[in-house]
Amino acid sequence: MTTVDLFISQMAEIESLVPRQIDKKRKVAQPTFTRQVATIVGLKTTAARFLPVSHEGHSNETYVDKVELLGKQRAEFIARKLKGIERRAQMALFRELVARSTDGGDWKAFFTDKFGTPCIIPDGLCIACWNCALFGGLDAKGQAATFSRVRYFDTYSIEDTLECVAMMESEEGMGIGNQVYEDMVADKTGKGRGRGAETYHLYEYVKAGTRFPLITIIESPTLLDVAGYLHTVRRADAHGYGKYSANHGKFDTQFLAIATGYPRFSVLDMLKWAESGELESKFANRQVQFDALGEAVVLVGDEIEEVAGKLQGAFDEYVAALG
């Protein structure tokens, strides 16, 4: 058995993602609890200006989230933001896979047929589909729920903000523009606003080339969850993360490892390893520890691509199991 096959053999059955009928009308995703987990570890590098902003700005200025950590001030990329963007990216991927596997390509009809309702993030969740089975949620009436099986962690720039953030004190100074301001107004009112002199806005941003370590844990994982997650991250990278994503927040993600088991290291350890220049080699040489049910299976390099390549097959299996 290859290492990749060994990894796949420890995943839960894709059938476990099929929702159960809880009453006449409703279906709820209730994946099997297996005590197994899969951990995905990576390194995200900004490919454009990135605005990790989790607070309300003051008047016409926007500031990047920052935190003092391990002797540096670092840009902070909070787990909640990562999860929000990636949930939407996973749904976009899901709809595209549905369109490809159905005749008319109509994802809404497919969702209504299989899950009782088109699933709309965040206020009209179906709590029956693959997306809800992974990210969890409450149904629209707040009467039924499914648990989230994906755990995200806050992450921080490897580089000091003096180096990686364009701000008042830096050489570049803050960004100037009206796009950011318009997005902000649109965020609050749901509508855009005309361009004008009053839309002048100053904003800090994380510069391209800034690196953030990434750890995501999927509980009771199926192959569809893991292969889907790898594609989801690439899709979110191309779409953009951060508060104002129109032209911002694009990333390149290098996956360092996927493994069965919980990591015996944290984002903070990864920051330290980056400092000492051994981050990539530690993973490439499998010198990292995971706590799995049996012996942890750790995949690196091309093995990760091999798992990503299983997406269509895993999705076909899911559609077949939905009946």
The binding site for Zn ion (CB under 5 A) comprises: 119, 126, 129, 131-132
Nearer to Zn ion, 97 or 126 (CB): 126
Q: Smallest gap, in angstroms, from Cβ of residue 133 to Zn ion?
A: 8
Nearer to Zn ion, 51 or 125 (CB): 125
Nearer to Zn ion, 119 or 257 (CB): 119
- Cα–Cα dist 133/86, whole Å: 14
- Cα–Cα dist 181/201, whole Å: 6
CB count in 10 Å sphere of residue 80: 10
> What spatial distance separates the first Cα and last Cα of the chain, rounded to whole Å?
31
Q: Smallest gap, in angstroms, from Cβ of residue 58 to Zn ion?
A: 37
Nearer to Zn ion, 8 or 119 (CB): 119
Q: How many CA atoms lie within 13 A of 165 on its CB side?
A: 26
Q: Identify the CA nearest to 84 among candidates 192, 187, 189.
A: 187
Nearer to Zn ion, 108 or 264 (CB): 108
Q: Smallest gap, in angstroms, from Cβ of residue 126 to Zn ion?
A: 4
Buried b (16+ CB within 10 A) or exposed e, 243-274: bbbeebbbbebebbbbbbbbbebebebbbebb
Q: Smallest gap, in angstroms, from Cβ of residue 136 to Zn ion?
A: 10
Q: Smallest gap, in angstroms, from Cβ of residue 19 to Zn ion?
A: 9
Closest residue to Zn ion using C-beta atoms: 119
Q: Smallest gap, in angstroms, from Cβ of residue 129 to Zn ion?
A: 3
Sort residue 71 into left (φ over 0), alpha (ψ -120 to 50) or beta.
left
Q: Smallest gap, in angstroms, from Cβ of residue 310 to Zn ion?
A: 22
- Cα–Cα dist 83/136, whole Å: 11
Nearer to Zn ion, 81 or 95 (CB): 95
Tokens standing for residue 287: 């010198």
Q: State which amino acid sits at residue 271.
A: L
- Cα–Cα dist 12/104, whole Å: 31
Nearer to Zn ion, 130 or 273 (CB): 130
